[in-house]
């Protein structure tokens, strides 16, 4: 009985993890940049929704689109005017740069909005429906559904549209893509913009579920990193599979072994993945 509740909680948490990781996985897979500022972008998404709700009373689900657009533009500019200068450098350099961006964004947010705790609290937040002993919170279920919709939307975008195909081409072979007439710099900027926009959406949802502070991003960068790696880098469905897997492992492990082992379980899975199948659950083994 309680087992079911834990599994439901695990799946819902997994959906949230997937939502967080889609953007990071996309950027990583295409541009080979591990964006350590990903959590900071999630934080910006959370604040966008929070302020729109608090000041203009805009429902968090409506502001998803605004949050996506804001972060889309932000990500585009950051890639075009900052990251693009080192995009061809060694991964260590881009790591350092995004690490610096993370600190910068976090501290600007702290100066602007203080470190006070905030929460987007529409009337329905934390409410849910029950059947028998199982409860399912509305917002978590919505986040779960949104993350599935986004993964499929991304799939269609990358497979069917010209821009999407250009993104895939660039991720496979930059030089060949350039020879085919693809504007690589623009494609990178667009990829970064989409990834950031997705982080914004994740932030909007997280702000309704968890406390918002400028420092909230760190743990999300870490979790997204693990989810992206475990699910399989460069695969579209990787974040979803990795997210659900980790969400379930974390809640089931916490319930049976004790919550203090949650981190050990999550990072244990990461280490095991790197040893047994470094390309992740969905990754191909041929490289």
Q: CA 3 to CA 5: how far, in whole Å?
A: 5
- Residue 78 Cβ, how far from another protein at the closest point, in Å? 21
Residue numbers 195-224 binding another protein by CB under 8 A: 209-216, 218-220, 223
The residue from 91, 114, 161, 173 that contacts another protein (CB under 8 A) is: 114
Q: Does 126 bind another protein (CB under 8 A)?
A: yes
Q: Does 135 bind another protein (CB under 8 A)?
A: yes
The residue from 55, 112, 116, 286 that contacts another protein (CB under 8 A) is: 116
Around Cβ 124, how many Cβ atoms within 10 Å?
Answer: 15
The residue from 107, 161, 172, 183 that contacts another protein (CB under 8 A) is: 107
- Residue 213 Cβ, how far from another protein at the closest point, in Å? 7
Q: Does 128 bind another protein (CB under 8 A)?
A: yes
- Stretch binding another protein (CB under 8 A), from 56-64, 73-81, 183-191, 251-259: 251-259
- Residue 1 Cβ, how far from another protein at the closest point, in Å? 9
| Residue ranges that bind another protein, judged by CB under 8 A | 2, 5-6, 9, 13, 106-107, 110, 114-119, 121, 125-128, 130, 135, 137, 140, 209-216, 218-220, 223, 250-252, 254-255, 258-260, 262-263
């Amino acid at each position: 009985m309680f087992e079911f509740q834990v599994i439901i909680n695990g799946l819902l948490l997994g959906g949230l993890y997937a939502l967080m990781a889609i953007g990071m996985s996309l950027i990583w897979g295409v541009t080979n940049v591990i964006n350590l500022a990903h959590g900071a972008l999630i934080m910006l998404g959370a604040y966008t929704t929070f302020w729109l709700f608090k000041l203009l009373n805009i429902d968090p689900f409506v502001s998803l689109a605004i949050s996506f657009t804001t972060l889309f533009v932000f990500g585009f500019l950051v890639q075009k005017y900052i990251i693009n200068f080192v995009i061809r450098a060694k991964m260590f350099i881009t790591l350092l740069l995004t690490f610096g961006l993370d600190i910068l964004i976090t501290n600007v947010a702290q100066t602007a909005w203080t470190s006070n705790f905030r929460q987007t609290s529409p009337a329905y937040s934390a409410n849910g429906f029950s059947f028998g002993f199982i409860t399912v919170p509305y917002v978590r279920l919505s986040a779960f559904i949104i993350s599935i919709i986004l993964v499929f939307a991304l799939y269609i975008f990358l497979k069917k549209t010209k821009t999407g195909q250009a993104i895939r081409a660039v991720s496979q072979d930059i030089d060949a893509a350039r020879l085919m007439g693809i504007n690589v710099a623009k494609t990178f900027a667009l990829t970064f913009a989409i990834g950031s926009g997705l982080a914004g959406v994740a932030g909007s949802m997280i702000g309704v579920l968890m406390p918002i502070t400028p420092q909230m991003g760190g743990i999300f960068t870490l979790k997204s990193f693990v989810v992206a790696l475990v699910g399989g880098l460069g695969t579209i469905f990787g974040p979803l599979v990795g997210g659900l897997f980790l969400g379930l492992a974390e809640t089931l492990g916490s319930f049976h072994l004790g919550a203090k082992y949650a981190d050990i379980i999550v990072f244990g899975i990461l280490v095991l993945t790197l040893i047994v199948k470094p390309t992740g659950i969905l990754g191909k083994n041929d490289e």
